[in-house]
Copies of this chain bind each other. A is one copy, B any other.
Amino acid sequence: MAETNLRVLLRARPEGKVGPEHFEVKEEGLPSPRPGEALLRNRYLSLDPYMRGRMSARKSYAAPVEIGGVMVGQTVAEVVEDPTGTFRPGDIVLGGSGWQRFCCVPVAGLRKLNPEAAPLTTALGVLGMPGTTAWVGVTEMSPPKPGETYVVTAASGAVGGVAGQIAKRMGARVVGIAGGPEKCAFVTGELGFDACVDHKAPDFPELLAEACPDGIDGYFENVGGAVQKAAWPLMNEFGRMAFCGSIAEYEDKEPAPGPNLGQINRKKLSLRGFIVSDHPRAFVEWRRIGSRLVKDGSLKYREDVVKGLENAPEAFMGLLAGKNFGKLVIDLG
């Protein structure tokens, strides 16, 4: 029996909350590489919040997935066949594509991984796009100074966990925000943040203010919504805010109003939005620096690995609801 390509397609665009009805899991025939492409078998698929944006037709920094098209995503994959001769069958590469078992992608976009150097999944998380996002967001968009207070939202997540540890190394007092006591305990106990506030607590705004008695100098935004609202008035003069994402708002049908912007002027704030793909240099920097920290064990990270491609839709819905705990990766087996 010839092998088939299991794929997760976008069946319909969600208005608001994502449900199983927006996906279709389909068996198709194996693709064939076009000139310059290799055939890959995907081993690990990264699930990330940005994918919610690609499900919508709303204008964003990248084109949406087409209806009936395969869901986008980065993978670690095994080379099955490379007519260009660049890779050998069995080579493990970063740069496979899509919520699917097999893919054909241009070899120019692939990078060979050394399975001995670090667990393969780290290429999708702490050492990959999310880790690099943290690196750019902290060091370039909202650099803390020693002694300052730096607040990281979604602090137990793939980006936030690294962001806080970087800010800590820059000398800041780092306060995390996470959902629930278990995640908060991990953020302080394992990741080494100075404090962590549970945004599900009924008195969250007061708890955040108490955790930041000197106000907030740096703020790493992954969340938006009520978390942003609580942090906004705590910003100090000359504060820096990095806008990386706003996962709490991705399923809103209409964007909610935000804060009055007069404070930007009064407090002389700097707010900077960014997308890591605009910073190719940072991938090189962070791979060099982050790899060393992962190797010596001083940079902590946590992965939430879900087995089976067919479980990707449910896992992704959980990600948007904050149910994952650590970097979410699908193990395709």
Contact = CB atoms under 8 A, between A and B. Distances in A.
B268 A61 contact: yes
A255 to B, nearest CB: 4
A67 interface: no
A14 to B, nearest CB: 16
A244 B261 contact: no
A264 B257 contact: no
A228 B259 CA distance: 13
A249 B267 contact: no
Interface stretch (A36-44, A95-103, A270-278): A270-278
Contact of A270 (B60, B221, B262, B272): B272
Nearest to A269: B273
Interface in A285-329: none
B265 A246 contact: yes
A257 B237 CA distance: 21
Contacts of A269: 271-273
A273 B266 contact: yes
Contacts of A261: 221, 224, 228, 243, 246, 258-259, 271
A228 B260 CA distance: 11
Contact of A262 (B255, B262, B265): B255
A278 B267 CA distance: 11
A244 B265 CA distance: 6
B257 A268 contact: no
Contacts of A108: none
A117 interface: no
A2 interface: no
A224 B258 CA distance: 14
A245 interface: yes
B278 A273 contact: no
21 contacts: A61-B266, A61-B267, A221-B261, A224-B261, A228-B261, A243-B265, A244-B265, A246-B261, A249-B262, A257-B260, A258-B259, A258-B260, A264-B272, A266-B273, A268-B275, A269-B272, A269-B273, A270-B270, A270-B271, A270-B272, A271-B272
